[in-house]
A and B are shown apart, each in its own frame.
Chain A
């Protein structure tokens, strides 16, 4: 069973640029959630995708957008990068809608640095 994978592992961008982060969910999982973890902080929920539709969004501006594909992999896109976007971006997959109690399996994350 393949776990959650994310690419790239590290990324350096400059302010104003755009970035795309990718996530492959664990086999059999149809729900993907994205989290931003700033240095020294806990992860903050960005949004969740279930069967290719956005299913809930945290307190993030519209320049954070996402996609989920038919194979349940997902992308996180961030436009007009700001310095404060520097963080570890975590993807988590789970097997059901509205994961009140279904375990979310996390990938290793993508470390984004904005200069």
Chain B
């Protein structure tokens, strides 16, 4: 089955601490991978994408993600989070028809 799995539904973290949001994908989805962020009462904004090339991808707002083919993972990281990073984060990949499949989301809560 085509799937994208986010392993943590909620991640609480203190301000300026590092964070990792985990994402695994099934091998049946196309290996193009995306991370989106959704702030409260807003739509989705693309953080970063992996299409090919370097396995370490840098995105906006200081986020980066590493594509690991052997572990079918695409974890999102930030070395030092801010209060403003509090949001819902979604990992996504297109299926063979090119339609985006999303994970269930991870709620990142940054506390002072």
- Judge: A and B partners, yes or no: yes
Residues of chain A touching chain B, judged by Cβ–Cβ distance below 8 Å, are 4, 33, 35, 40-45, 48, 56, 58, 90, 92, 98-101, 103-104, 106-109
Tell me the minimal C-beta distance from A17 to chain B in angstroms.
24
Chain A residues within an 8 Å CB radius of B99: 33, 45, 48, 56, 58, 99
Contact of A104 with B49 at beta-carbon distance under 8 Å, contacts A42-B90, A109-B43 already known: no
Which B residues between 45 and 63 are near A, CB-CB below 8 angstroms? 45-46, 49, 51
Contact indicator A103/B49 (Cβ below 8 Å): yes
The interface centre, meaning the residue of B45, B49, B90, B98 with most chain A CB atoms within 10 A of its CB, is B98
Contact indicator A41/B49 (Cβ below 8 Å): no
Task: Kindly supply a per-residue 1/0 record for chain B positions 31-52, scoring 1 wherever the CB is within 8 Å of any chain A CB and 0 otherwise.
Answer: 0100010000111111001010
Main secondary structure of the interface of A (DSSP, over half): loop
- Select from chain B the residue with minimum beta-carbon distance to A107: B43
- Select from chain A the residue with minimum beta-carbon distance to B98: A98
Contact of A100 with B44 at beta-carbon distance under 8 Å, contacts A42-B102, A45-B99, A45-B100 already known: no
Tell me the minimal C-beta distance from A51 to chain B in angstroms.
15
Cβ of B19 < 8 Å from any Cβ of A? no
Chain A residues within an 8 Å CB radius of B102: 35, 42-44
Contact indicator A90/B44 (Cβ below 8 Å): yes
Contact indicator B104/A56 (Cβ below 8 Å): no
Contact of A101 with B32 at beta-carbon distance under 8 Å, contacts A41-B105, A56-B98 already known: yes
Complex Cα–Cα for A109 and B38 (A):
11
Chain B residues within an 8 Å CB radius of A41: 104-105
Can you name 21 A-B residue pairings with CB atoms under 8 Å?
Answer: A33-B99, A33-B100, A35-B100, A35-B102, A41-B104, A41-B105, A42-B4, A42-B6, A42-B90, A43-B100, A56-B98, A90-B43, A90-B44, A92-B100, A99-B98, A100-B32, A103-B49, A106-B43, A107-B43, A108-B41, A108-B42
Contact indicator B45/A106 (Cβ below 8 Å): yes
Complex Cα–Cα for A90 and B90 (A):
14
Chain B residues within an 8 Å CB radius of A42: 4, 6, 90, 92, 102-105
